[in-house]
């Protein structure tokens, strides 16, 4: 099968990883994948330490345009983007288009309708709601209406959590068209992380220290500031707790300020941004992983990496995270905003070596038993599309063949 993968992102951060990994998974299943994008990510190994020159140029241009003008540019650009995508479809002759949803981007919906081929839309968040809440929108009603229209136009939708699927259903998408697929890892990650002891030593951690860690792009809504304040307030470093923060981002200056102001320099280490080839070793340096905060619908990719490397997770209890983690088995979950419950979970794992060991084994079992792998996600996506197209064929033609004869072929 030939799959045209379309996205309009800068291919950085976790989104770049997701884009690269799902394309790789389709290829490993034997499919031909053609990527159409401003910033291709299909061959990427992970997050770059520095944004590419093209990404930096796009970012500078975007920052210089007034918000209203930028939104109008995004909306007006659909005619150009859809035309280019239609040309790519004619050239590649794909069996389907797989598109990562982005705000104001109707190109996939337009071009696939023109070509008469299926559109599989991957939705990772309700971007109109998210951007209005965090970044601001000058035309929120237009964004929300277009978003709903794009979602409803897709043949099939893949999304990362049931709470997000509920948002789509409320927007008018038939639930049977939605497949919930949380994020995933490569199977090789189960056996990675041999460099963990070296990472610990490089940051001055002793064998007896219990290291609590976090990886990713530091954003204000990750809750790391509140965690560090609680770490200081409850004197956790006096009991052997240490913190390793791996990554960069907008919240980094605030985090470093807390460490300096609260005198945590001997207990908290910043690893900086590391390439994907070093992520496993850095996570392996943790004893316990952290997810202090997340949106109600998010499926943080880091959680699956933590689990694959056998790390118990202290995480906020959101509906989406509770779909993946099991409190008391592979994790300790705490209510959002409950600092005392967060600290209680940290203390439990800090003091109890046997508990950490049990949860470590359970963490990897969660990944293997539930199939949280990219190749499984790719396979399930195509099976979902096959079921939908077979059902549609039966509705349109009473004499249609059996479902297995209508399936999407490899």
Each residue's pLDDT tens digit in the chain (410 positions)? 999 999 988 767 788 899 999 999 999 999 999 999 877 775 444 433 344 555 555 566 666 677 788 788 888 888 899 999 999 999 999 999 999 999 999 999 999 999 999 999 999 999 999 888 876 788 989 999 999 999 999 999 999 999 999 999 999 999 999 999 999 999 999 999 999 999 999 999 999 999 999 999 898 889 999 999 999 999 999 999 999 999 999 999 999 999 999 999 999 999 999 988 999 999 999 999 999 999 999 999 999 999 999 999 999 999 999 999 999 999 999 999 999 999 999 999 999 999 999 999 999 999 999 999 999 999 999 999 999 998 777 665 555 444 443 333 33
Looking at residue 39, what is its pLDDT?
73
Spatial CA neighbour of 215 closest among 306, 320, 321: 306
Looking at residue 400, what is its pLDDT?
46
Looking at residue 77, what is its pLDDT?
82
Residue 89 host element (H or E)? helix 78-92
Q: Residue 306 and residue 61: Cα distance in Å, rounded?
A: 36
The residues near 255 (Cβ < 8 Å, ≥ 6 apart) are 218, 224, 225, 228, 245, 270
- Enter the pTM of the model: 0.89
Can you read off the two tokens belonging to residue 197? 């002891």
Rounded to whole angstroms, what are the CA distances from 9 to 13, 54, 77, 83?
Answer: 10, 12, 14, 18
Q: Domains, the chain, ranges and CATH? A: 2-184+374-406 (3.40.50.2000), 187-370 (3.40.50.2000)
Looking at residue 236, what is its pLDDT?
97
Return left, alpha or beta for 104; rule: phi > 0 is left, psi -120 to 50 is alpha, else beta. left
Q: Of all residues in the chain, what percent are helix, strand and coil, respectively (each to 5)?
A: 55, 15, 30
Question: Where do runs of H (alpha helix) occur along 194-300?
Answer: 196-202, 224-233, 252-261, 276-284
Q: Residue 304 and residue 325: Cα distance in Å, rounded?
A: 10
The residues near 49 (Cβ < 8 Å, ≥ 6 apart) are 273, 274, 275
């Amino acid at each position: 099968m030939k799959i045209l993968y379309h996205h309009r992102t800068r291919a950085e951060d976790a989104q770049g990883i997701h884009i690269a990994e799902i394309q790789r998974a389709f290829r490993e299943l034997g499919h031909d994948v053609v990527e159409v994008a401003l910033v291709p990510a299909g061959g990427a190994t992970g997050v770059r330490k520095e944004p590419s020159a093209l990404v930096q140029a796009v970012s500078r241009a975007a920052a210089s345009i007034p918000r209203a003008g930028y939104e109008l540019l995004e909306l007006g650009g659909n005619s150009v983007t859809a035309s280019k995508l239609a040309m790519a479809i004619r050239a590649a002759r794909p069996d389907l288009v797989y598109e990562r949803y982005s705000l104001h981007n109707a190109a996939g919906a337009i071009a696939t309708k023109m070509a008469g081929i299926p559109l599989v839309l991957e939705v990772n968040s309700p971007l109109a709601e998210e951007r209005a809440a965090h970044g601001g929108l000058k035309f929120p009603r237009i964004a929300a209406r277009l978003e709903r229209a794009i979602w409803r136009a897709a043949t099939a939708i893949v999304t990362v959590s049931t709470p997000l699927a509920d948002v789509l259903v409320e927007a008018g998408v038939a639930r049977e068209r939605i497949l919930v697929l949380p994020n995933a890892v490569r199977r090789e990650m189960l056996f990675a992380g041999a460099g963990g002891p070296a990472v610990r030593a490089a940051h001055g951690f002793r064998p007896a220290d219990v290291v609590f860690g976090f990886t990713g792009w530091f954003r204000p809504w990750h809750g790391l500031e509140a965690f560090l304040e609680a770490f200081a307030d409850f004197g956790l470093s006096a009991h052997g707790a240490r913190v390793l923060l791996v990554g960069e981002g907008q919240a980094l200056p605030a985090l470093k300020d807390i460490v300096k102001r609260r005198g945590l320099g001997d207990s908290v280490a910043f690893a900086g941004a590391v390439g994907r080839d070093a992520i496993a070793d850095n996570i392996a340096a943790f004893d316990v992983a952290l997810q202090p905060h997340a949106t109600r619908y998010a499926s943080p990719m880091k959680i699956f990496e933590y689990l694959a490397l056998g790390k118990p997770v202290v995480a906020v209890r959101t509906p989406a995270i509770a779909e993946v983690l099991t409190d008391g088995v592979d994790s300790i979950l705490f209510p959002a905003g409950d600092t005392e419950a967060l600290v209680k979970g940290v203390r439990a794992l800090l003091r109890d070596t046997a508990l950490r060991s049990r949860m470590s084994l359970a963490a990897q079992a969660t990944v293997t038993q539930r199939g949280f792998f990219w190749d499984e996600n790719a396979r399930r996506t195509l099976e979902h599309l096959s079921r939908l197209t077979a059902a549609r064929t039966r509705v349109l033609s009473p004499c249609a063949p059996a479902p297995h004869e209508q399936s999407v072929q490899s």
